[in-house]
């Protein structure tokens, strides 16, 4: 057999293959979006019957936490002008867990709370009665000229207050609590235990038209 001496191993030059693969990769990067179905969940109130007047809900003024946002994205929280929303969720937590005038059921709820949440109860008669249904409502009222970004920022803070309360009740962090899917019975139990007795009462009022579009 005629064999050449000192022949090197014959390797196919694969350097350009990497370039081709890079081209494909970049094409996919450009044409695809990473699936992001994340956001803030909200359940709208049911449709109003035009023949019937809206139901009168008797709620004391002290049980409503008013957040007003005007067309210039300025905030009025409980009648006071505030600059930013940094402390908003803490204020809302204080409001929800005030226990100003609890009934028997609310006292039972109060006793079931962990000590860190119980310490928040200021029992201020000027603030909310109890966090149960009809006891504390957070109301967000915007203007038609308010920017969506500001609205979402405020809603985010309100949600944060509730999630932090829920998470603290079951001994998790708010992030962990929000990540619970409720698919397994254990997760569902945690979710329900967090929410029990403290409904997420967020009222989003119809925006008014003054000063907007």
Partner 1 sequence: MSKFKKKTSTSQNIPTSALPDIIFMLLFFFMVTTVLREQEILVEQKIPQATQLQKLEKKTLISYLYIGKPKNVALFGTEPRVQANDVLINTKDIVLWVNQEKDKLSEAERDQITISMKADREVKMGPISDVQFELREADARKLLYAAVGKVQN
36 binds partner 1 (CB under 8 A): yes
Q: Closest CB to partner 1 among 106 and 155?
A: 155
What would the two tokens of residue 143 be? 């203007």
Among 2, 5, 7, 37, binds partner 1 (CB under 8 A): 37
Tokens 């908003």 belong to 88
Which one of residues 10, 38, 49, 54 is an interface residue with partner 1 (CB under 8 A)?
Answer: 38
When asked if residue 33 is in the footprint of partner 1 (CB under 8 A), the reply is: yes
The residues in 180-209 that bind partner 1, with binding defined as CB under 8 A, are 181, 183, 206-207
* Listed ranges 116-124, 128-136, 149-157, 191-199: which one lies at the site for partner 1 (CB under 8 A): 149-157
Residue of 179, 186, 189, 210 interacting with partner 1 (CB under 8 A): 179
Phi/psi of residue 19, each to 5°? Answer: -60, -40
When asked if residue 17 is in the footprint of partner 1 (CB under 8 A), the reply is: yes
How far is residue 62's CA from residue 56's CA, in Å, rounded to a whole number? 17
At 91 the three-state DSSP class reads helix
User: Which of 116, 109, 154 is closest to 132 using CA atoms?
Assistant: 109
CA dist., res. 119 & res. 145, Å (int): 39
**Residue 123 engages partner 1 in binding (rule: CB under 8 A):** no
Q: Does 83 bind partner 1 (CB under 8 A)?
A: no
Alpha carbons 191 and 42: distance in angstroms, whole number: 17
One residue of 1, 2, 29, 57 binding partner 1 per CB under 8 A: 29
Question: Is residue 170 within 8 Å of 190, Cβ to Cβ?
Answer: yes
Judged by CB under 8 A, the residue of 3, 4, 5, 43 near partner 1 is 43
CB-side exposure of 206: number of CA atoms within 13 Å? Answer: 4
Is residue 22 near partner 1 by the rule CB under 8 A?
Answer: yes
Q: How many residues bind partner 1 (CB under 8 A)?
A: 58
What tokens does 90 get? 């803490």
Distance separating the N- and C-terminal Cα atoms of the chain: 92
Instruction: Give the whole-angstrom CA distance, residue 206 versus residue 18.
Output: 57
Q: Please report, as ranges, the residues that interact with partner 1 according to CB under 8 A.
A: 6, 8, 11-12, 14-15, 17-18, 20-22, 24-25, 28-29, 31-48, 142-149, 151-153, 155-156, 159-160, 163, 174, 178-179, 181, 183, 206-207, 212-213
């Amino acid at each position: 057999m005629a064999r050449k001496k000192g022949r090197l191993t014959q390797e196919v030059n694969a350097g350009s293959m990497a370039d081709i693969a890079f081209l494909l990769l970049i094409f996919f990067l450009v044409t695809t979006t990473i699936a992001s179905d994340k956001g803030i969940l909200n359940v709208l109130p049911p449709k109003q019957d035009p023949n019937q007047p809206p139901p009168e809900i008797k709620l004391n003024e002290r049980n409503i936490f008013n957040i007003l946002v005007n067309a210039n994205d300025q905030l009025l929280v409980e009648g006071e002008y505030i600059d930013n929303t940094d402390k908003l969720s803490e204020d809302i937590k204080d409001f929800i867990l005030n226990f100003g005038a609890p009934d028997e059921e609310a006292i039972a709820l109060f006793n079931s709370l962990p000590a860190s949440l119980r310490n928040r109860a200021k029992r201020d008669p000027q603030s909310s009665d109890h966090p149960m249904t009809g006891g504390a409502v957070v109301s967000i009222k915007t203007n038609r000229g308010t920017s969506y970004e500001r609205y979402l920022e405020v809603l985010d803070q309100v949600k944060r207050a509730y999630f932090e309360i829920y998470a603290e009740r079951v001994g998790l962090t708010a992030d962990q609590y929000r990540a619970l899917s409720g698919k397994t019975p254990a997760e569902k139990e945690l979710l329900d235990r967090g929410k029990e007795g403290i409904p997420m009462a967020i009222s989003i009022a119809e925006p008014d038209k003054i000063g907007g579009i």
